[in-house]
């Protein structure tokens, strides 16, 4: 495996940071197509808490994200416009082309990253992604979360794992880099099951991975289960033990984009160890310094 920092430095010649962008889209788990209310763990913002309002033009959102970051990052930093919230390809092909083209035209943007679901990649959307990927490096981030269809059904993912397999194949046929999101600690999943998800993504040829622990967020279905004592969250040691095992399963060239996520501060309920971001970063730096 290779750390994202090293991978980006080799590819772009300097550090890369993400400038979060949100689009005026929802997702099939929210608009009634596959379900309503979203996945059992998903926040009302659809994981887009770090972006500006979707009502602002894309380049203004990028400017706002860059100005927030600029005092903390080196002057020669490059930026990845990150379409993170909800399902960024859940729109028509022309709209997607327009927003991706606008982001790609921003003078400080050197790559794009598009978060989506594997069941939201019809041929015309893949064609747009492929077209954009020919002009600027493009990453597609797929929310697999688990390869266990029963666990996925329990949180209401709304597609089968075979759909993810097919999406990775199609994106690769178009030369598009795939990053797979996996959650450790989902309700009903064993440690072996979590590692099976990693093996599955590797078998499908994912180019990169993002791991996160399960967060309990206010207003979600998991909050209710958590309050009723029906879900437990992983403690820090347990979670990073699983991460360490997961890293050992990755081929040399798989890029590790994230070892854990960032829960939205205002609505985060558990795990409590994730509240102190600095402490988590220090822990990761100590424990994984030789691995990444
Ligand atoms: S996690 Fe993704 S697919 Fe699930 S409800 Fe949230 S935005 Fe939709």
Task: Please state whether the peptide bond connecting residue 183 to the residue before it is cis, i.e. omega within 30 degrees of 0.
Answer: no
Q: Which domain holds residue 78?
A: 2-287
- Is residue 33 domain-resident? yes
Interval 191-234: pLDDT, tens: 999 999 999 999 999 999 999 999 999 999 999 999 999 999 99
- Is residue 193 domain-resident? yes
pLDDT band with cut points at 50, 70 and 90 for residue 45 = low
pLDDT at 249: 98
- Regarding the beta carbon of 181 and ligand 1, being less than 6 Å apart is answered no
Q: How far is CA 165 from CA 9, 114, 239, 259, in A?
A: 29, 18, 26, 23
pLDDT at 52: 67
- Regarding the beta carbon of 104 and ligand 1, being less than 6 Å apart is answered no
Q: What is the count of structural domains for the chain?
A: 1
Interval 49-93: pLDDT, tens: 556 677 899 999 999 999 999 888 888 899 999 998 789 999 999
pLDDT, the chain, mean: 94
- Regarding the beta carbon of 39 and ligand 1, being less than 6 Å apart is answered yes
Interval 224-282: pLDDT, tens: 999 999 999 999 999 999 999 999 999 999 999 999 988 888 899 999 999 999 999 99
User: Could you tell me the distance, in angstroms and rounded to a whole number, from the CA of residue 86 to the centre of ligand 1?
Assistant: 6
> Mean pLDDT across the stretch 118-145?
98
pLDDT at 68: 92
- Is residue 67 domain-resident? yes
Q: Say if CB 198 and CB 182 are below 8 A apart.
A: yes
CATH of the domain at 190: 3.80.30.30
Q: Higher-confidence residue: 289 or 97?
A: 97
Q: Say if CB 77 and CB 15 are below 8 A apart.
A: yes
pLDDT at 53: 73
| Whole-prediction pTM | 0.96
- Regarding the beta carbon of 38 and ligand 1, being less than 6 Å apart is answered yes
- Is residue 185 domain-resident? yes
- Is residue 209 domain-resident? yes
**Torsions phi, psi for 160 (to 5 deg):** -90, 160
């Amino acid at each position: 495996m290779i750390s994202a920092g090293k991978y980006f430095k080799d590819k772009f010649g300097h550090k890369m940071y993400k400038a979060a962008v949100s689009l005026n889209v929802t997702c099939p788990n929210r608009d009634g197509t596959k379900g309503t209310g979203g996945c059992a763990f998903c926040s009302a913002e659809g994981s887009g808490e770090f972006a500006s309002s979707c009502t602002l033009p894309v380049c203004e959102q990028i400017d706002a994200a860059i100005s927030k970051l600029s005092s903390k990052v080196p002057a020669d930093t490059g930026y990845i416009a990150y379409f993170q919230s909800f399902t960024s390809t859940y729109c028509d092909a022309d709209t997607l082309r327009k927003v991706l083209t606008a982001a790609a035209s921003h003078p400080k943007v050197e790559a794009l990253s598009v978060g989506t679901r594997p069941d939201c990649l019809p041929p015309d959307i893949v064609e747009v992604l492929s077209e954009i990927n020919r002009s600027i490096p493009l990453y597609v981030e797929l929310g697999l979360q688990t390869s266990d269809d029963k666990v996925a059904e329990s949180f209401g993912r709304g597609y089968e794992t075979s759909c993810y397999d097919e999406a990775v194949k199609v994106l690769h046929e178009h030369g598009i880099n795939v990053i797979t999101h996996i959650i450790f600690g989902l309700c009903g999943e064993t440690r072996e099951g979590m590692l099976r998800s990693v093996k599955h993504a590797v078998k499908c040829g994912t180019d990169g991975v993002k791991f996160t622990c399960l967060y309990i967020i206010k207003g979600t279905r998991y909050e209710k289960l958590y309050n009723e004592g029906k879900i437990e969250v992983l403690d820090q040691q347990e979670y990073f033990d699983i991460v360490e095992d997961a890293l050992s399963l990755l081929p040399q060239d798989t890029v590790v984009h994230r070892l854990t996520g960032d829960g939205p501060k205002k609505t985060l309920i558990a795990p409590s160890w994730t509240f102190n971001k600095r402490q988590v970063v220090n822990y990761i730096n100590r424990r994984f310094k030789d691995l990444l």
